């Protein structure tokens, strides 16, 4: 009677194993930066979508208050409540998700709370209370951006400002690989470096007229 012999299994040699590991490592090093860039672009797109939705909330507020944009904050004993986002929220919103940038997870907003100083988005400081339909160049005029305070990192997010000498309310270009999303009065959102946003001449800041 003949005996059926099973073929002997062949093991990898150490050299072959090292070659396989090297090839896998090379593929990872090639693909990983692309994946990271894709994730960054996806977060920036989500941030841009948030801004578009906030712009719609601005429009609804303006329609409800004779064309006026909400003031950046209320004057009173506390600067921590009554900011522009509170006005939009009270007028037409039922959640706060659109105020949260996915690239700034620690910067959150809660209505009528001290979370106003840590908001991910800031309204252009001098646009508050203005008539929305009286803007000369809405396609270039800044309504909102991603603000940061470099004096006390993480604060004064609720306003953006052009004056670099103050070091607060500057466009935060650390979130999206060196750029910051800017929302203009016409509803367009585009990424800018801080230098381009402040000195590039393309955007109009209401406080300076340039």
The tens digit of pLDDT for each residue in 23-82 reads 887 887 777 676 677 788 899 999 999 999 999 999 999 999 999 999 888 765 555 567
Percent of the chain with pLDDT over 90: 29
pLDDT tens digits for 116-155?
A: 667 888 899 888 888 888 788 999 999 999 887 655 555 5
The set of residues, in sequence order, having a beta carbon less than 8 Å from that of 84 and lying 6+ positions away, is: 69, 70, 71, 72, 73, 123, 128, 158
Please give the tally of structural domains in the chain.
1
Percent of the chain with pLDDT over 70: 79
The reported pLDDT for the residue numbered 210 is 41
Q: For residue 2, is it within any domain? A: no
The reported pLDDT for the residue numbered 200 is 86
Segments forming the whole domain that contains residue 40: 15-199
- Give, to the nearest 10 degrees, the angle between helix 84-92 and helix 14-64: 80
Q: For residue 204, is it within any domain? A: no
Length of the chain: 210
| Inter-residue contact 57 to 88 (CB < 8 Å) | yes
pTM metric for this prediction: 0.78
The reported pLDDT for the residue numbered 46 is 94
Q: For residue 79, is it within any domain? A: yes
Whether the pLDDT of residue 157 is over 90: the answer is no
Q: For residue 163, is it within any domain? A: yes
Q: 209: alpha, beta or left, given left = phi > 0 and alpha = psi -120 to 50?
A: left
Average pLDDT, rounded, for the chain: 81
Q: What is the DSSP letter of 5?
A: P
Q: What are phi and psi of 172, to 5 degrees?
A: -90, 100
Q: For residue 22, is it within any domain? A: yes
Q: For residue 7, is it within any domain? A: no
Residue 114 vs residue 128, higher pLDDT: 128
Whether the pLDDT of residue 89 is over 80: the answer is yes
Q: For residue 8, is it within any domain? A: no
Whether the pLDDT of residue 113 is over 70: the answer is no
Q: For residue 40, is it within any domain? A: yes
Which candidate, 35, 48, 166, places its Cα nearest to that of 103? 48
């Amino acid at each position: 009677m003949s005996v059926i012999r099973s073929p002997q299994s062949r093991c990898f040699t150490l050299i072959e194993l090292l070659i396989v590991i090297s090839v896998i490592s090379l593929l990872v090093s090639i693909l990983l930066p692309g994946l990271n860039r894709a994730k960054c672009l996806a977060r920036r797109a989500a941030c841009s979508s948030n801004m578009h939705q906030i712009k719609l909330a601005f429009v609804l507020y303006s329609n409800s208050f004779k064309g006026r944009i909400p003031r950046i904050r209320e004057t009173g004993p506390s600067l921590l409540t009554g900011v522009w986002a509170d006005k939009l929220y009270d007028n037409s919103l039922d959640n706060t998700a659109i105020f949260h940038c996915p690239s700034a997870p620690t910067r959150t907003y809660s209505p009528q709370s001290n979370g106003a100083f840590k908001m991910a988005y800031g309204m252009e400081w001098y646009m508050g209370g203005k008539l929305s339909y009286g803007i000369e160049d809405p396609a270039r005029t800044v309504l909102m951006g991603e603000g940061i305070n470099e004096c006390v990192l993480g604060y004064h997010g609720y306003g953006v400002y052009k004056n670099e000498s103050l070091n607060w309310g500057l466009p935060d270009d650390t979130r999206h690989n060196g750029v910051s999303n800017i929302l203009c009065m016409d509803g367009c959102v585009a990424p800018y470096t801080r230098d381009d946003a402040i000195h590039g001449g393309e955007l109009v800041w209401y406080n300076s007229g340039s």
